[in-house]
Chains A and B, each alone.
Chain A
Amino acid sequence: MKKWLVMLALLAGQAHAEDVLNLFNWNNAVAPATIKKFEAQCKCKVKETYFGSMEEALAKLSAGAKGFDVIGPSNYGIPPLARQGLLLPLDKSKLPNLKNINPAFANTALDVNNQYSVPYDFTVTLVGYNATKLKELGLQADTWSIVFDPAILAKIRGKVTVLDDPREVIAAALRYNGYSANSTNPDELKKAVATIRAAKPYWAAFNSQSYIKELTVGNIWVALGYSNDMFQARQDAQAAKRPFEIAYGLQKEGNGMTADSFVISKHAAKPELALRFINFMLEGQNAAEITNSIGAGNPNTAALPFIRKELLSVPAINPDKAQAAKLEQLSDQDGKTRRAWNKAWTELKLVR
């Protein structure tokens, strides 16, 4: 409603004096309370615009949408943004809190030396499951075979969904076959596709949107999805006092992982304010709030003391050294690989 008032004010010829920081990000990634805290500190206003998928945001920015100061892309979105000249290199002298970043998440191939980006959370692609049901059936979810092995799937036919995302599902199938999630080898891709093809008849759907709910309701028992979604499903099931427990864990063959980062737009009207915001988000307590509210993993070492205890014991949120070594950050693919995977995916979806 405010906007209409603001528009009226503008029509009346009055300008708005307050500084405004425009943030383009996932909905709720930064808790509303944290935003309020920053607004009080900087005596400015933070205006958030949301996206629901990284690729949607990329398409929009590639087509030339402007007006954002800080963007919060997934890391594989950084190279496309940077190569298209849409990002401003970070002035690190203005980011003293950069020291808080866990070295394991700093300086990755997706942004060498963190020229453009600072990670703020990470999500693991893993299996979430109805623990009660699987125990009844005597099945284990600590391996990708729960999603890919037809012999095991036969017991849970029609109760499994996987993400509607070639990047994630093929990556998981590659790990299941013992390959890198970022493989560009056509033979390895072929094997992964064969794995998916054999498993597909047992799956209920490709589902990226509602699997959390289907899990909590009990419509499906196994879902290949994101760790923070599974965190949510588990909480929801507990809150609704479902007669079963939702659990999630890493797979022993290794999991794909995606970090989200803050970057500054080349067209930022307030680059200084943007840096202040990023530095603010790097403070331990503010960074911890992200994990506490959405159950994402945290790449900030200073955040650990502020994260709720029960979350720290979740491997997908706080992996130990051995577990972290098996997490593989998904790379951004080149055009050729992307096309090959895409075509394989289309064929997979069409074949019965």
Chain B
Amino acid sequence: MSKPVYGLGGRYAKWLISAPPLLYLLLFFAIPALIMVFAAFRFPGDYGGLVPLVDVNPDTGARELLLTAENWRDFLTFENFGRFFEDSIYLELFLKSFWYAGLTTLICLVLAYPLSWLIARSGKKTRDLLVLLVILPFWSNFLIRVYAWMIILGPQSYFSRVLNGFLGIFGIEPVSLLFSQFAVIIGLVYVHLPFMVLPLYANLEKHDMSLLDAAQDLGANAWQRFWKVTWPLSLPGVWAGVALVFIPALGMFAIPDLLGGTNSMMIGNLIKQQFLDSRDWPFGSVLSIMLTLSVLLLAAVAAWAGSRHKKKD
């Protein structure tokens, strides 16, 4: 390896820099999460929670491990994973959620790109203000914002009435906007949009304008300049935005709960149902593991495809 050129170097730099976030995430994320990952192999308690592995001995008051080499089958099981695979409805729900999240991400990208580009091209002072303006609405409470959407999409709203009046001219039946898949997608796009704009902006902001000028001098039209110069350079920002929108959107449950109709369930709702309805923590954990693994797998495939792409260049 050549000498470290970018920023901090030295033999210990790697450890000094990666240790703080690594240790923090190990302690306050990985260890706690492993407790619940382990829960996927346990039985749900009859009254919620899990079948306990330790018990307090009534005579001595000491805590005792109930699990032994002989009786582990009473405490550990693969059955929860079996349930996931034996019925196609869970897979169906996964696919549907992927479709919702994918569509959300695509719409966010299309909406965010011109906006981020514009912010990145603005003067320094306006730029900060424009960035702030993107995130500002999100400092009001989530529930209140979504309730505002319910007002906008509700059948009594000006928006709905104007739209349906318009549709009526063409003899189209009035449509109900609220409680529909359309409303769910609007809501998903709305709550995730800043998470696409911010990474894109952070990336586009550093682009070297002289490259675009050079391309223009060589006779490239606007579309070619975008497609050959701006877009490829912005790809890291696009990927960051896609990750920060797609992954959280996949596990969302509040938006389908509030804006969805009778067919808007997503995987997040099913997971929530396991914890906050059927008190089936092990199955909730199985579903969570499947969701997380599929995301990590997708990320690994994307990274692999990215590195192959680079090699080709």
Contact = CB atoms under 8 A, between A and B. Distances in A.
Classify A-B as touching or not with yes or no (CB < 8 A): yes
Interface of A: 53, 55-56, 58-59, 62-63, 79-81, 83-84, 158, 161, 164-167, 200-201, 203-210, 213-214, 217-219, 332, 334-335, 338-339, 341-343, 345-347, 349-350, 352
A63 B48 CA distance: 9
B98 to A, nearest CB: 15
Contacts of A334: 46
Contact of B277 (A84, A201, A342): A342
B107 to A, nearest CB: 22
Q: Max chain A CB contacts within 10 Å: which of B49, B257, B261, B277? A: B277
A201 B179 CA distance: 13
A83 B48 CA distance: 10
A44 B130 CA distance: 51
A319 B154 CA distance: 35
Interface stretch (B62-70, B231-239, B268-276): B268-276
Interface string B45-69: 1111100000000000000000000
Given A204-B261, A205-B262, A335 B273 contact: no
B46 A335 contact: yes
B89 interface: yes
B273 A83 contact: no
Contact of A338 (B96, B155, B280): B280
Contacts of B257: 164, 208-209
B244 interface: no
Contacts of B128: none
B194 interface: no
B44 interface: yes
B176 A339 contact: no
Contacts of B155: 219
B294 interface: no
Contacts of A213: 147, 150
B56 to A, nearest CB: 9
Query: Which 10 pairs of residues, A with B, have the shortest CB-CB distance?
Result: A80-B47, A62-B49, A342-B278, A205-B179, A55-B276, A349-B265, A83-B47, A62-B48, A204-B179, A80-B48
B: interface residue count bin: 35 or more
Nearest to A167: B277
B258 interface: yes
Given A209-B258, A219-B155, A347-B89, A58 B263 contact: no
A339 B265 CA distance: 18
A334 B260 CA distance: 30
A213 B154 CA distance: 11
Contacts of B274: 342
Contact of B265 (A165, A201, A350): A350
Contacts of B44: 335
B273 A350 contact: no
B207 interface: no
Contacts of A209: 257-258
Nearest to A206: B262
A350 B278 contact: no
A83 B247 CA distance: 38
